Structure 1
């Protein structure tokens, strides 16, 4: 498994335009929210407890993030849990409203992504490596943390791999 710096740097190679990163600040959380809305309808009975697909997705994702960084894993756990709580009422809706919101938000999030990549002039990272689908949410989180002045050493390490950002 590649290090946190390697994965963020590799993802960053596809995200050097500030306009692209800006569209990702909105597009990626919308996509994650939509996926959680859709997966939350899949119920899995385990003994006397029922879990759903969204909970499994969040757990698996957060475990992966913890393997990369304890502090960022904790931040991602909080963010993904908040999105999960917001998604569960959508999943509880009747079929057509649930499906319309889930698919609509998903498509809108991807439209934002592709607009960003139009400005970037590069294809999305996941086209070359599917791990980009799980690194994307972490990447936009750390980009926001970088803008807030946190994780300066990580920012330097990621930029050493990905290169400087451009307007």
Structure 2
């Protein structure tokens, strides 16, 4: 496919993949990227909501909706997959919030966030390349879609 006919999603993934060639680093990303995604959702869930109209989790919901619009415009199949992931992570986060309270959820989210980012940087040390988001912050959104696209390819699905 020539660069002029290549889709934006394919250009993003080709560039992201060039920083993730090492098998160990790729496997680390397969686990760490979803963990970071959940931890960010959980951290946003913990931001206080004032007033009676909004419920906890609204900031996470707004961020997920904005991210989902990015994914859906990039690729409908990936957008739908990310929607399913966001719904699942929202249910998990809501359940954890009910079980642990805001303080417990916050502690869990911070712990997962720190451990997952350490794993990411270890993976990039093994790779010998810096993380993609250091060149363009958009790659923080590309990572979860890249992991999902790996699953789609493994299942024989088009994205």
Q: Which segments of 5 or more consecutive residues in structure 2 lack a partner in the other structure?
A: 1-6
- Paired with 2:71 and 2:63, the residues of 1 have a C-alpha distance of 12
Give distance in 2, aligned partners of 1:130 and 1:52.
23
Please point out which of 73, 84, 94 is paired with 1:78: 84
User: Aligned partners of 2:86, 2:150: CA distance in 1, in Å?
Assistant: 17
Whether the aligned pair in 1 keeps the contact of 2:46 and 2:105 (CA below 8 Å) is no
2:4 matched to which residue of 1?
Answer: none
The structure carrying a bigger strand percent of its residues is: 1
Q: String of CA shifts for 1:79-119, please: whole Å, max 9, x gaps.
A: 12101111123334334322220100111111221121122
> Structure 1 residues 104 and 49, CA, compared in 2 at 3 Å: closer, same or farther?
closer
| Corresponding residue number in structure 1 for 2:147 | 140
SS at match of 2:19: coil
Coordinate RMSD, CA, aligned = 2.1
Quick one: distance in 2 between partners of 1:70 and 1:6? 16
Higher relative contact order (CA 8 A, sep 6+): 1
Residue in 2 that maps onto 1:116: 123
Residue 37 of structure 1 corresponds to which residue in structure 2?
42
Alpha-carbon separation, structure 1, partners of 2:81 and 2:16 = 19
